[in-house]
Copies of this chain bind each other. A is one copy, B any other.
Amino acid sequence: MSEQNGAVAELVDQLSRLPGIGRKSAERLAFHLLRVSENEAMALSEAIRRVRQDVRYCEVCFNLSESETCKLCGDRSRDQTKLCIVEQPRDLMSLEQAGVFRGLYHVLLGRIAPLDGIGPDQLTIEPLVERVRTGNFSEVIMATNPTVEGDGTSLYISNLLSEFPVEITRLARGITAGSVLEYANREIIADALTGRQKL
């Protein structure tokens, strides 16, 4: 195909650069985009263009935003005393979709990962400390991923924040709702036992 049709081959190439999209899937998507209405195909093209043109990081919490500060930071109805720290905007989105937390967020834009050459300076830790220093927070909830690097990042940050009069918590760990104990690994069981709660 690449010899016979430049535009289709180029689209297949571009689509197959997306994570989780192999060559065959890229071809299938390309033919889909050729078959749907012109409006639908153009809407996707335009959405990609617009997201790159209009979206930046909120100057306060580093969530994605189309203005200087994001809507969450500007929403005075949210609990201004609780700050939830996440690695990436997509983590914030997961938490928001759950709809349980009504406080504010801070997005680190990564995690400390020495093996990848990512140190604290490359994250938004400095503005975070500044926010906690000048803000009115009573609780900081560490919601980094439950991985070695996520835990290390949480630990690093909680040390930095220990000088401020805020309670520092982290997300509960244990067995996941809807799962079966049979498939939980040693680490999950250990977390569940260590953090066992009164019935």
Contact = CB atoms under 8 A, between A and B. Distances in A.
A11 B47 contact: yes
A71 B20 contact: no
Interface string A162-179: 000000000000000000
B55 A5 contact: yes
Interface string A24-67: 01011111111000101111111111111011000000011110
A124 to B, nearest CB: 15
Contact of A52 (B38, B48, B97): B38
Contacts of A45: 45-46, 48-49, 52
With a 10 A CB-CB cut-off, give which of A10, A32, A48 has the most chain B CB atoms: A48
Nearest to A75: B4
Contact of A4 (B3, B43, B70): B70
B1 A55 contact: no
How many copies altogether? 2
Nearest to A21: B29
Interface stretch (A87-95, A131-139, A144-152): A87-95
A19 interface: yes
A17 B4 contact: no
A29 B3 CA distance: 28
B33 A42 contact: no
A33 B46 CA distance: 13
A96 interface: yes
A159 to B, nearest CB: 28
A38 B40 CA distance: 22
CB-based closest 7 A-B pairs: A45-B48, A4-B71, A11-B47, A14-B44, A14-B47, A45-B49, A1-B93
12 contacts: A1-B93, A1-B96, A4-B71, A5-B65, A5-B66, A10-B50, A18-B44, A19-B29, A20-B25, A27-B90, A30-B51, A31-B88
